[in-house]
Amino acid sequence: MRLEGKVSLITGGGSGIGRESALLFANEGARVVVVDIDDRAGEDTVTMVREAGGEAVYVHADVSRANDCENMVRTAEERYEKLNVLFNNAGILHENDSDAESTEEQVWDFTMAVNLKGVFFGCKYGIPALRRAGGGSVINTASFVALMGAATPQIAYTASKGGVLALTRELAVVHARENIRFNALCPGPLRTELLMKFLDTEEKRQRRLVHIPMGRFGEASEMARAALYLASDESSFVTGTEFKADGGITAAYVTPL
């Protein structure tokens, strides 16, 4: 098992990438702390993990709140005595996120609070726990839009994910000698509830699909497998990366400097 003996904390664990990662990590031997703001969804994930023979606990947290993030890390250590893997995955894509002219300030602030400050808080309180465990892996969910513009305007989301990528790089450098690795998972467009609610017409979906060389949306389970690699010791010399699992979209449209 690739995560045997490890303790993993996953935010946004009630759905999408977070749920699939919780199930996969547990199947690979990890004890999992499932974090979400939706209690029913988070508890459902824990039930699924346990029914599959794994071990998990649910913690309610709004990742935009420092106290909640501090508590989720504390709970991981109190329940399982350590923390080895921190997956800052929680994120939102607001239905009214659009271009700079039409996006309201409150949409911008809310998006930044969850997508960027939430990652900061996870790292702020998670790093000391990882240090106490002798090191570990931090995975921050960014996006392919951190590397290129989105065809459908989503200015706050894109800016927030660019911030996640920059934060990840700096933390990777700062903590490299402490055996704490930081990598940004950059998914391409996925067939998740988050994106499908935003791309709510066939026209919008086709506008996104036409840019993906593989010609399809990715699946949350595929992102979970990418996260598993970053969480495991197989990626022991991997830090500071923009780990792209995007169906080739950035290869097709981003030109290296």
Q: Which residues are catalytic?
A: 157
Instruction: Look up residue 255 and give its DSSP letter.
Output: -
The CA distance from 67 to 55, in Å, is 25
The CA distance from 144 to 195, in Å, is 13
The CA distance from 14 to 46, in Å, is 9
Instruction: From 144, 158, 145, 154, select the one nearest 95 (Cα to Cα).
Output: 154
- Do 29 and 54 contact (CB within 8 A), yes or no? no
First-residue to last-residue Cα distance in the chain: 40
